[in-house]
Structure 1
Amino acid sequence: MSIYKKKKFRLSPPQVMTLGFLFMIFVGAELLWLPISSAGEGRLPFIDALFMATSATCVTGLSMINTGAHLSTFGEIVLILLVQIGGLGFMTMSTLIALVLRRRISFQERLILQEAMNHDSTEGVVRLVRKVLVYALYIELAGALLLALRWSFEMPIGQALYFGVFHSISIFNNAGFDLFGALPNRPSSLIHYVEDPYVNIVSMLLIILGGIGFIVISDLLTYPQNKKLTLHSKVVLTASAALVVIGTIVILVFEFTNTQTLQPLSPIGKVLSAMLQSVSSRSAGVNTLDISSMRQATQFFIVIMMFIGAAPGSSGGGIKVTTFVILLGALLAMVRGKEEIVLFRRRISKDRIYKAITFALLSFILIVLSTMILSTTESFSFLGILFEVTSAYATAGMSLGLTSQLTQFGKVFIIILMFVGRLGPVSLAYTLTPVPEKANFRYPEGKITIG
């Protein structure tokens, strides 16, 4: 018998997450590829089915087809289930099944949940998952009923309820898929409701609640008892509110005289549509204005907003608002000659700063390289390709019309971008590389001139 014990092969949490998402995507693609998923005769080409499954599982919202017109009811249900599972995370859904079956959650599973939920430790992570499921159910149910009530005035009650459930799940999970293509002479997304305060406000609330993350929602619900918020919640809420206000003002300024977007609308319609576009642009993919008709300055601003993204622990993408705030904090600290980043009287540790810089820089490099590559393979403007690439990577779901014109290579490339964007380049790097060994020594310090 060998004196050496064989190492037990065990997947790391990032590897489990990666394989889980891949499994969901390919199962979803197979289901959407079936003839029963198509509204007409025949079936979707497999590459289009794979694209749609990836877009739904990664809660992106980019679409090769008119969802309402080209998918059957079965296909629509498959799509929205992928959105729900992808938005909450497959490990969250697996934990739900385990809790229902009264099975004990192992420590390894808690580690994976910690990774999936962006939680600081394994302590309380199962309790957080329970809260996530309850919050999501109540918010989506409330959204579905509110939207169904509005749409019951223009369609049969059964269809209104179905539309309410589908769009509530889609909007809350920041996916942006819609079924209005099934209605005659109706534009896609929420363009028909550009001046409808009810639909706009309900949609914005769903997007905001889905984008701030469940950790913040939990904090807000316990605030009446605790009378305090964590630093994470303070940063997310403050940064999100500031970005919504800034985004609304910028869109109003640039589009105010644009005859194809804001100019024909009433004063209330202008503010509502600018605000919804500001809220939606960081991840949701819902729009009441035609993005392709906007001025290039506005489109480029939306690219920046998509890059920033939503909050950690949410279904939104991008580099995350917390990363953006840390980068701004580092800039201000350097300008002021300070050695530390301080937010709300709390010092940010150096490992968090390094992680924020690494994540932002990796994301920036990936978007730049992807834009350069697709600029040589796709017949579209540079801004349009940059917009599409950023939207795919940040899982924002907005498009200037390039999605339906992609070549086969372009489709595969965007599929990979959506997948990498949902997992995050750092998590994917941990998946593909072995655990680094701790160094036993340190090199002497050197100095490099900066600036």
Structure 2
Amino acid sequence: MRAKLFSPYWLPVWFFGGTILIGAFVLHLDVSHPGGPLSFVDALFTATSAMCVTGLAVVDTGSYFSTLGLDVLLVLIQLGGLGIMTFTTLIIHLLGKRVSLNDRLAVGQSLLRDPSFSLPRFLARVVWWTFFFEGCGALALWLMDPVGFAPYSAIFHSISAFCNAGFSLYPDSLTQWAGHGGVNLVFMILITAGGLGFYVLIECASYCRKLAVRMTHKHRAMPRLSWHSSIVLKTSAFLVLLGAVVIFFAEGAAGNAPGALSERVWTALFQSVTCRTAGFNTVDIGNMANVSLIFMMFLMLIGGSPGSCAGGIKTTTFRALCGFVWAQFRGREQVQLGRFALTQGALNKVVSLTTMTFILVGVGTLVLTALESGDSSYLMAREEFIVNLFETISAYGTVGLSTGVTSSLDTLEKMTVIVLMFVGRLGPVWLLSALQSWQAERRYKVPTGNLPFG
């Protein structure tokens, strides 16, 4: 029993939950919030939102919490962004403990999708790249606006952006910089870098070095990105551009974009990027057109890439689903993505992840709707459904965007959102694997048969 409780699959659950509880107790202390009273449920909600790098907030972060409270939030965001498994494995190494093959494989499949790698070297590079992006982002924000982004504010927002947390010290998030190209660009770079995945970032840096060598030594072979990185980069670029185009024209058609053309472009592009589980916004989400909100929910469900700070079903899962549908249309048995085809085991995981995601989002929306307007008629509550659906997807995808209802949720609704954020950050497949690790393997098979479908 002890071995099952502390297996590689369950350790992240315990450390994740334990860190959230510690953060909630500290945030609940009066010294952390001199701006007013904070119930333990609100403290737990805030700690979960920070650790799960979601960004949903029940109070105004910048004015409600003290410096200690903000420091606690930064620590939780950083831990959640890097991933509790990364820190757990690093601690094991620092304590000189032996990492088993199962631990090694579990970490490899979670972070690199490659079980053969040097763990200490990889962890060091992850930490270095994280601090590099966050440091450069903070410096750039401070140089562009020393008043709006004082040193502490610049550091806070840079860490929040790279970790895809979405916490801001301003009640209107980043709306005052809606037309500022430089600030928009810095945030989009940080969000994108944090959402691509550490393996992709490290490989892109290696690719650039090899390309520079290739330019000086023409006889060298042209460097090539791995299959995983190629799929991630192409899918991410496609989704960002498609989202920007849809939001640009949807908001224009709804009359919600009265500003200059450049500001409208920045707004559409920023909202498309931030839907990749970042949570910042440069416009009032509650006033956006329904078409924009629906497409943003689609982007939030997909989220970022494997091994990154982002949530969602991930870009590789979305690409695999598209490949599966296309293969069915063409009558192909294999699902080919680029130069390789997916294995049946990979397809099974894609179907399981997608199915569980829709079940969890559906149940979450049903619970919120029942608690919010269960005794109301459809005509009275029809506008609340899309609001609850948006809030559910935002929580499950650890995005943090909201139409403005988060602060008005009651205790049961907050607990529902807390569960969605926790499950969404760890991933439903990971939790399912953790539960399955407790089950004894069946040593027999039952007869198979066929049923009519469709």
Per the normalisation by structure 1, the TM-score is 0.91
CA distance in 2, matches of 1:22, 1:7: 18
Q: Which residue of 2 aligns with 1:175?
A: 165
Are 1:13 and 1:115, in contact at CA under 8 Å, matched by a contact in 2? no
The TM-score, its normalising length taken from structure 2, stands at: 0.90
Does structure 1 conserve the Cα–Cα contact (< 8 Å) formed by 2:4 and 2:438?
no
Q: Could you say which residue in structure 2 is the equivalent of 1:3?
A: none
| Structure 1 CA distance for aligned equivalents of residues 110 and 232 of structure 2 | 18
Aligned-partner SS, 2:56: coil
Q: 1:94 to 1:428 in 2, by over 3 A?
A: closer
Answer whether contact 1:29 1:52 (CA < 8 A) is retained: yes
CA deviation after TM superposition for structure 1 residue 442, in Å: 4.2
Q: Which residue of 1 aligns with 2:390?
A: 387
1:312-357 per-residue CA deviation (whole Å, 9 max, x = no partner) reads 1011111111111111100000000000011112111110011001
Which residue of structure 2 lines up, in the alignment, with residue 407 of structure 1? 410
Deviation at 1:228, TM superposition (A): 1.5
- Whether the 8 Å contact between 2:227 and 2:339 is mirrored in structure 1 is no
1:199 aligns with 2:183: yes
1:216-275 per-position Cα deviation (integer Å, ceiling 9, x unaligned): 11111111338121111111100000001100110011001444x32x211111111100
Equivalent residue for 1:132, pick from 110, 115, 126? 126
Shift of 1:103: 3.0
Residue deviations 1:30-62, cap 9 Å, x none?
A: 110011111335x41110000000000000000
Alignment equivalent of 1:27, drawn from 18, 22, 25: 22
Q: How many pairs are equivalent?
A: 432
Partner of 1:241: 237
Distance change (3 Å), C-alpha of 1:95 and 1:369: closer
Structure 1 residue aligned with 2:135, among 118, 124, 141? 141
Question: 1:432 corresponds to which residue?
Answer: 435
| 1:212 matched residue in structure 2 | 196
Q: Does 1:378 align with 2:381?
A: no
**Equivalence for 1:184:** none
In the alignment, which residue of structure 1 is the partner of 2:333? 339
Output the CA distance in 1 between the equivalents of 2:413 and 2:366.
12
Residue type matched to 2:31 in 1?
I
Match in the other structure for 1:291: 285
* Residue 346 of structure 2 is aligned to residue 362 of structure 1: no
SS in 1 for 2:10: helix
Q: Secondary structure of 2:150's match?
A: helix
Please name the residue that 1:265 is paired with. 259
Residue 313 of structure 1 aligns to a residue whose secondary structure is: coil
Work out the CA distance in 2 between the residues paired with 1:334 and 1:111.
32
Tell me how far 1:131 sits from its aligned partner: 1.4
**2:312 touches 2:398 (CA, 8 Å); kept in 1?**
yes
**Displacement of 1:444 after TM fit?**
4.4
Structure 1: 5+ residue stretches without partners: 1-5, 182-187
Say if 2:439 is the partner of 1:446: no
Contact 1:39 / 1:69 at 8 angstroms: preserved in 2? no
Task: Check the 8 A contact 2:90/2:120 in 1, yes or no.
Answer: no
Q: What are the Cα deviations for residues 63-108 of structure 1, in whole angstroms up to 9, with x where unaligned?
A: 0000001011111111011000011012323444566x57355226
Query: Which stretch shows the higher mean deviation, 169-178 or 31-40?
Result: 31-40
Q: Does 1:312 align with 2:306?
A: yes
Are the aligned partners of 2:57 and 2:407 in contact in 1 as well (CA < 8 Å)? yes
Q: Identify if the C-alpha distance between structure 1 residues 231 and 116 changes in structure 2 by more than 3 Å, giving closer, same or farther.
A: closer
State the partner residue of 2:205. 221
Asked whether 1:51 is paired with 2:45, we answer yes
Name the structure 2 match of 1:250: 246
Equivalent position amino acid for 1:428 in 2: L
Do residues 106 (structure 1) and 102 (structure 2) align?
Answer: no
State the SS of the aligned residue for 1:189. coil
Out of 212, 225, 231, the residue aligned to residue 227 of structure 2 is 231
Structure 2 contact 104–115 (Cα < 8 Å) conserved: no
> Match for 2:153: what amino acid?
F
Structure 2 residue corresponding to 1:349, chosen from 332, 343, 351: 343
Where do 5+ consecutive residues of structure 2 fail to align? 211-221, 374-380
Closer, same or farther in 2 for the Cα pair 1:82/1:446, shift >3 Å?
Answer: same
Does the 8 A contact of 2:49 with 2:421 survive in 1? yes
Partner Cα separation in structure 1 for residue 2 and residue 90 of structure 2? 31
C-alpha distance after superposition, 1:282-327 (max 9, x if no partner) = 2101111111101111111111111111101011111111111111
- Report sequence identity in percent: 39
Please say if residues 149 and 160 of structure 1, whose CA atoms lie closer than 8 Å, have aligned partners that are also in contact. Answer: no
Cα distance, 1:126 vs structure 2: 3.3
Q: Distance in 2 between matches of 1:16 and 1:423?
A: 11
Question: Residues 17 and 112 of structure 1 are in contact (CA less than 8 Å); yes or no, is this contact kept in structure 2?
Answer: no
1:95 and 1:105 in contact (8 A); partners too: no
SS across alignment from 2:278: coil
Matched residue, 1:89? 83
State the shift of 1:180 in Å. 1.9
> Residue 180 of structure 1: SS of its match in structure 2?
coil
